[in-house]
Structure 1
Amino acid sequence: MNDSTEHPLHDALHAHVEEGGADAAGPYLVGLADGALQVARRRQRLARAGAGIAAAAVLATAWVAVADGATQRAHVVQPATGETGNAEKVALISLLPVTSATEIACTPGGGGYTVHASATHPAMCVHADRARGMTDVRAASAKAARSTRIGTWRVEVTLSPADRTRFAALTGSLAANPAPRNEFAIVINGKLWGSPSVTASITGGRLVIVGVYDGDLSSATAHDLALRLDTGR
C-alpha cells in the first residue's frame, strides 16, 4: 500500500455515511475512518524508515464515536510505565536520647533538630545523642491509623525482635531522667517526627509516631510515612 491508496475500512465507512444521510454518528464515523487511515500511513512510513520499535512508544489517541448525538470522547492509550506504587527506598528510623530542648530555633550547623513555630506552639531546638541511640532502624511493619480517642492520625510502628530488645534497654535508661532527658527523638531521613517521653521501659517493641505535637499528621502524611517505613510492602 502506498501513501495515496485509501484503506478498505476508510472507503467502507465513508460509503456508509453517504448512504445513511444525516445520521448523528456520521461525522464521528468519518473522523474515525480518517484517523485510522492516518495511523496506517504513519505506521507504513515508520516501517520504511526502520522505526518499527519507536512506533510502539507513540501515544495513540482514538476518537470514540457515540450514537444519538453524544459528544465525542478522547481515549489516550499510554505506553507502559513499569511498576506501580511507591518505588522509594524503605525509610530508616533513628531513636535517639534527647539531651536538651529549648524554645528557640536551632543555630545553623549546631546539630540540633528545629521545630518551626506555629500558631499554637513556639519554635524549638531539640538536641539528641546519636552515640547512645539506635540508628538506621528498619521497621518490621508500619501502618497509618486514626486515634479512636481524639481522632488524630498516627503511624503505628512495630520493631523486629532484635530491635525490641535494644529499644527496651534504651527506654529503660531514660525513664528515671527529668524532662526533657526522659524523651527520645524519632528521626527519619534527617527530620524530627516526635520526641515522646517515657516513664518505664517499653518492652513490646512498638512505638507510635504522631508528629512533634499530637495532631500534626494529616491522613495523607500518615499513610505516606507508613508506606515508606513498611518493609513488608
Structure 2
Amino acid sequence: MNDSTEHPLHETLLHDALHAHVRESGGNAAGPYLVGLADGALQVARRRQRLARVGVGIAAAAVVATAWVAVADGATQHAHVVQPAAGGTGNTEKAALISILPVTSSTEHACTHGSGGYTVHASATHPAFCIRADRARGMTDVRVTSAKAEKSTIDGTWQVEVTLSSADRTRFAALTGSIAAAPSPRNGFAIVIDGKLWGNPYVTSSITGGRLEIVGAFVGDLTSATAHDLALRLDAGR
C-alpha cells in the first residue's frame, strides 16, 4: 500500500496521544491548545493525502514548531504554533512594532486616499469609520516585551494582551493620562501595527500597569487564528 492510499498513521497517533494527555491532565488551561494542535495536524495530513490521490504534487511540507510560553506566575502554559521562516528552523522574523497614537477625530465614512487616516471597513453590524490620530504626540514603533493570545473571561472573545517595557510603561501612563479627560473621541488612542488599525480603545484615567488588550477595531473582530498570529508577530525573534 502506498502513501496515497494509506491512512496518515503518524499524525493519527500524535492526535490520539495529545487527546489522551489532555484527558489525563484533568482539563488544564493548555488543553484546548493541545487539542487544537492535534486536530490541525491531522487535518493537514488528511488534506495532503487527498491531494496526493488526485495527483497534485506537494513541493515541500511546512514544518510546524510548537513554542511554549509560560505565564509569569508559572501556573499556566499556552501553546503557540510557529511557522519558521523559509530555509530556517525557527521563528527568525523581525518582531512587528506597535504605535499608540492619540485620536484626533472619528468620522462615519471611509478615509479619503492620502488623508493619513485609518479606515475601519463597514460590516453587517457597523458602518465604515475614518480614524485620524496624532503621530507627533504618540508612541511610535514600540517593541513590546511580551504578547499572548487569550480568550476573555467576560465574553469569550479573543484578544491579545500586550506588555510594555518599564520605559514605555511610563510613557504610556503619561499618554493615557493626558487624553483621559478629553471629550470623545479624543479620549481614545489608536493601536496601529504595520499601518493597520487594530484597536481604538477609550480611557477615563491613566493606565499605569503597562498592559493593553488588542481586540480589533470592534470587540469580537479577532478569531483564535488572527489573535495567535498577531501575538506571534509581536513576539517574533525572542
The question of 1:147 aligning with 2:163 is answered no
TM-score relative to the length of structure 2: 0.63
Within a 5 Å distance, the mapping from 1:175-194 to structure 2 comes to: 175-194=180-199
Aligned to 2:161: 156
Instruction: Check whether the contact 1:141–1:232 (CA below 8 A) recurs between aligned residues.
Output: no
**Alignment correspondent of 2:233:** 228
Residues 1:200 and 2:188 are matched in the alignment = no
**Structure 1 residues 106-161: Cα deviation after superposition (integer angstroms, max 9, x where no partner):** 01011100010000000000000000000010000000000111110000000000
C-alpha distance in 2 between matches for 1:87 and 1:211: 26
1-structure distance, mates of 2:236, 2:209? 19
User: Whose radius of gyration is greater, 1 or 2?
Assistant: 1
Distance 1:125 1:109 in 2: 12
Alpha-carbon contact 2:169-2:208 (below 8 Å) kept: yes
Distance 1:94 1:155 in 2: 15
TM-score, structure 1 normalization: 0.64
2:104 is equivalent to residue 99 of structure 1: yes
2:132 aligned counterpart, secondary structure: strand
Q: How does 1:1-233 map to 2 (within 5 A)?
A: 82-230=87-235, 233=238
Measured in 1, the distance between the counterparts of 2:181 and 2:145 equals 28
> What CA distance in whole angstroms lies between the structure 2 residues aligned with 1:143 and 1:128?
26
Alpha-carbon spacing, 1:220–1:85, altered in 2? closer, same or farther (3 Å): farther
Contact 1:140 1:231 in 2 (8 A): no
* Identity value in percent: 75
Unaligned runs of 5+ in 2: 2-57, 64-85
Number of equivalences: 159
Runs of 5+ in structure 1 lacking a partner? 1-23, 25-75
- RMSD over aligned CA atoms reads 2.2
Shift of 1:230: 1.4
